[in-house]
Structure 1
Amino acid sequence: MPLPRRAFVASSLGLGLGFALPARAHHGWSSFDQERPLYLEGRATRVMWRNPHGELELELPEKPALPADLKQRALPKQSASVDGPALLAKAQLPTRRDRKWLVELAPLTRLSAWGVEEIKTGTQLGVLGFTFTGEKGDAVLRAEYLFVDGKVYGLRSSPA
């Protein structure tokens, strides 16, 4: 039985609008250089606490630096096999000079499992993670570890 004309027009319009809305790209791990962990530290200037994963805009200081104790920091165990101490040992600053970076965190359910409270604008924090191979494209960091308020959270998987 054919749809009544109004229902057909409404459903067609809805489908048309759906295709016209901009789609936000979601990145898989393959485009990130997992052999070159980067450490960023700064102030959250914008926070998007939503799915598919939390995000924040991190403003770096004029002269970023690696913390002197970074290689000795204790890291929590995760359910996924992650060699955190090796990542800390290889951590470096980005070569690009962007002052603002988009940091992709974990899905909200995983952040909740770790006990991460919603990060507020103005919070000082550090992240260890990966950017695009060759630091090409946007200044995006996919966080592996989050350092906030004296606590460390592993973001690749759930707590072990």
Structure 2
Amino acid sequence: MALVFLVAGVVPVGAHHGWSGYDATKEMTLTGTIKEAGYEHPHGHVRLEVPGKVWLVVLAPPTRMESRGLPAAKLRVGGKATVVGYPHRSNEDEMRAERITIEGATVELR
């Protein structure tokens, strides 16, 4: 029985992004077109197309986004977005967003 709890407790932790993987000393701003959007746990995401590249942008958990005024419906494929955040240390096309602006409204994600 203890083994079941141990294994069950490890799975969610392993699936969660570690924030230390992002370089908080290199804030960056990207503006582009949403090519894909996900509103799932543990974190939502968008794939944001900017000139010459498509970025995976890791967002906040859906419950936080919803409570701060960013429902899933605002993350529309084809819509424009500006994100401010930090690049991943080893995945050159991934960033963690601190805030996102869509349709003139900025939402703090952290």
- TM-score scaled by length of structure 2: 0.79
Q: Which residue in 2 is equivalent to 1:140?
A: 94
Q: Which residue in 1 is equivalent to 2:36?
A: 46
Question: Are residues 149 and 115 of structure 1, via their aligned partners in 2, closer, same or farther at CA, if it must alter by over 3 Å?
Answer: same
Identity of aligned residues (%): 35
Q: Which residue in 2 is equivalent to 1:131?
A: 87
Residue 29 (structure 1) shift: 1.0
Secondary structure (helix, strand or coil) at the match of 1:143 reads: strand
When the two structures are aligned, how many residues end up with a matched partner? Answer: 95
Quick one: distance in 1 between partners of 2:85 and 2:28? Answer: 5
Secondary structure (helix, strand or coil) at the match of 1:109 reads: helix
Structure with the higher strand share, 1 or 2: 2
What do you get for the CA RMSD once the two structures are aligned?
1.5
- TM-score scaled by length of structure 1: 0.56
Quick one: distance in 1 between partners of 2:88 and 2:77? Answer: 25
Q: Which amino acid aligns with 1:128?
A: V
Superposed structure 1 runs of 4+ greater than 6 Å apart: none
Secondary structure (helix, strand or coil) at the match of 2:26 reads: coil
Secondary structure (helix, strand or coil) at the match of 1:34 reads: coil
- After the TM superposition, which residues 11-160 of structure 1 pair with which residues of structure 2 at under 5 Å, given as runs? 25-62=15-52, 99-118=53-72, 119-133=75-89, 136-156=90-110
- List gaps (5 residues or longer) in structure 1: 1-23, 63-98
Deviations, residues 113-159 of structure 1 (Å, cap 9, x unaligned)? 111122110110000001123xx324111000101110111100xxx
Question: Are residues 106 and 47 of structure 1, via their aligned partners in 2, closer, same or farther at CA, if it must alter by over 3 Å?
Answer: same
- List gaps (5 residues or longer) in structure 2: 1-13
Residue 27 (structure 1) shift: 1.9
